[in-house]
Amino acid sequence: MRRAPGKHALVFVAITVLLDIISFGLVLPVLPALLVELTGESVGQAAIRGGWLSFVYAVMQFLCAPVLGNISDRFGRRVVLLFAVAALGLDFLVMGFAPTFGWLFLGRLISGIAGASFTPAYAYVADISPPERRAQSFGLLSAAFGVGFILGPALGGLLGGFGSRMPFFVAAGLSLTNFVYGLFVLPESLPPEKRRAFDLKRANPLGTLLQMRRHPMLLSMFGALFLWMLGHQVMPTTWAFYTKLRFGWSAATIGASLALAGAVMAFSQATLMRLLVPRLGERRVALTGIAVAGVGYVGYAFATQGWMMFAWLPTWLFGALVMPTTNAFMSHRVPTDAQGELQGAVASLFSLSSIIGPPMMTQVFGRFSSPSASPYLPGAAFLVAAMLTAVCFVIYGSASRERAPGTRAVAAVPP
């Protein structure tokens, strides 16, 4: 008899999502030191290699998320989730022992595949949660996202004090322990009679984005949103390299700053969202967030002392509101039966920005942080982000004019 999923199964899925998010942030504080150690290059040149690591991670996650989701529809959720957790643990070991950049590149490739477990994870939760408790269950996964964005960099920074490879070994231990835990507590949630044949056409990662052509009024909004996401890529891709080069920050300080940025965003979405949106409306809140974040990028670019980077972080109190308010704004302009399609298209946009943004931002940083650069401007990548944000503001303001809805309350979601 097939065992029914219980509380432990939901806890396992939440831990899996948490570890996936932690694995992304865990690497950031120690990556500059590790790449310099492996390649013998300057911080600026190491940043370019770091951009390609982020690129391969994002590409594999983009391609594999719909594939893993479809495989789980065919063979069940359990085998796919356990595979992803085990692969993530083994991958951390590969990166921890990596003797060359090539091995590190292979590790991030595997991370991208394993990190695509979000799709079957959410499908598992949908399987086991009755309709009246589904929102609560999904809320647990959203909380795991938020905690992961804060805990990952902080943990990576602290462990970096024991060496640039220590965070990988600790993460490997956590992931493999979770795998063993899942072997005992994770029953299958999808019975054989509800499975379907694997269809490659349904695993197309661009499918939902292409379907949004049926809503031409949103195309300009998608353009603005893509520019916003592209500019935001400067934070995870160049922040660690920039602060290490410019201010000599340690892994612990880098991790603390990124964790603080995540905490600021989480606090904003939990508190300011409810205060500002009912008073100003989604459009005004989003435009304010875009403008304030753009000013923050300029502040980072011209900071002359490390404390100034912390002083500009509060701009994300407003910048963190852009995605959830824009998501809500667009959701009012598509029919009920296209809401899932809309969210899939937004996710595809984010994936594309995560593919294009890292190599673009790190190339700019590497070019203008070289001692021979003319002009020498290590903060150039933040200025690029500011320019993208400024264009986003113009397009967003034009595309949303005369269609702004009345004030509505929206739920907080990750940035």
pLDDT tens for 84-112 read: 888 888 888 988 899 999 998 988 888 88
Over residues 296-338, the pLDDT tens digits come to 999 999 999 999 999 999 999 999 888 888 877 877 776 665 5
The answer for 149, left when phi > 0, alpha when psi is -120 to 50, beta otherwise, is: alpha
Closest CA to 369 of 25, 153, 50: 50
DSSP H helical ranges for 233-338: 234-247, 251-267, 273-280, 282-301, 306-312, 316-319, 322-331
- Domains, the chain, ordered by start: 1-184 (1.20.1250.20), 206-406 (1.20.1250.20)
Spatial CB neighbours of 132, under 8 Å, sequence gap ≥ 6: none
Tell me, rounded to whole angstroms, the distance of Cα 404 from its chain centroid: 28
Q: Residue 393 — very low, low, confident or very high, per pLDDT cuts 50/70/90?
A: very high
Contacts of 79 (CB under 8 A, 6+ apart): none
> Would you say the pTM of this structure is higher than 0.85?
no
Q: Using alpha carbons only, how large is the chain's radius of gyration in Å?
A: 21
Q: Do 215 and 351 contact (CB within 8 A), yes or no?
A: no
Region 20-28: mean pLDDT is 78
Q: What is the C-alpha to C-alpha distance for residues 228 and 222, in angstroms, rounded to an integer?
A: 10
